[in-house]
Amino acid sequence: MLDFIFNRGKKRGSRYLQKQITEYRQTAQEKQSSTWPLSVKQLENEVNESIKDFQSVVKEIKNMLLSLDELARMLRSGEISESIYNVLLEELSENLSASIEKAFSLREKLEVLKAKSKIEWAREKITGRAAEAREMQKYYGESYLAPYYRLQDLISRTEEALSTLNFEEEISIIEQYLSTIKGKGKISSEKLKKIEETKKICQQRLNIISEKWSSIRRDKISQLMDLDIKSSQIKDDMKEVEVRFSIGEIDRKTYDEKMAILQSSLKKIEKEIADIRNYIDNIDLKIFRISELLREEK
């Protein structure tokens, strides 16, 4: 009987303890929310809003570019007349201009917010609050999110959002927009002003892209040099195999096996070299063409 009472009391005590822990966790989370640094709360709100706007406008731009391609196809196939093409092109160009301006502005804002998040994250780490946050999360579980972890999440989500408009896509967007407005006839001063504003933003973005491309280009050329060395080594190995076969050191079967492996490796490396060279040439050409288009319109 005493064992029964004792066990029942133990079960009640366990339930009570679990209830107390749950209530304490909820209190801790509420307290955490109310004592959060204001700057971190503001960052989270700004990041969330900016990411949403940025992803929306990037989607709009990509859809408009598809529409421009389809419009050009319809003109070539004779589905629409040139006059209808010009009317629709004018409308799409105006919308694209506004969206590009908004997208690049939001991109810069997200870059700034990412930098701010990293600064706040580093501050949490330096002051030792990162270690405290890890201990608190161990105790309270995954539901506990200190500013340190919130900031990590903000940085990660911001980088992910920025990646939705990559380096190559930015270049293509600028090039296609400038090609669209090239050689426009007589337009109103208001529309001309808007175009000039967008072109100025494109020029600013091109300067940033060119600087970034210089660094990427150096890395690509370094890759080419490494691949050329590997290619030369494989060719030397192939010559060695041929010599060994010619003097009877290896039989036909071994020769064929070794040559097949070396030729496969060489083919793979040569494809990598060709792909990198084509990539470099393609980006160089696009940047050059954009620079020319910007100069032509001045």
**pLDDT value of residue 43:** 87
**pLDDT value of residue 189:** 77
Digit-coded pLDDT (tens) for 119-134: 888 887 776 555 555 5
Q: What single-letter DSSP state applies at residue 204?
A: H
Residue 8: band (very low, low, confident or very high) from pLDDT cuts 50, 70, 90 = very low
Burial of 182 (0-12, 13-18, 19+ CB in 10 A): exposed
Burial of 165 (0-12, 13-18, 19+ CB in 10 A): buried
**pLDDT value of residue 29:** 45
Cα separation, 246 vs 24, whole angstroms:
83
Cα separation, 146 vs 239, whole angstroms:
63
Q: List the structure tokens of 89.
A: 């092109």
Digit-coded pLDDT (tens) for 224-267: 999 999 999 999 999 999 999 999 999 999 999 999 999 999 99
Residue 2: band (very low, low, confident or very high) from pLDDT cuts 50, 70, 90 = very low
Rounded to an integer, the average pLDDT of 214-224 is 96
**pLDDT value of residue 63:** 93
Higher pLDDT, 211 or 192: 211
Residue 84: band (very low, low, confident or very high) from pLDDT cuts 50, 70, 90 = very high
Rounded to an integer, the average pLDDT of 88-101 is 89
Domain ranges in the chain?
37-165, 166-176+189-298
Burial 138-152 (b: 16+ CB within 10 A, else e): eebeeebbbbbbbbb
Q: Which of the listed ranges 3-17, 200-214, 227-241 does the model predict with the highest average pLDDT?
A: 227-241
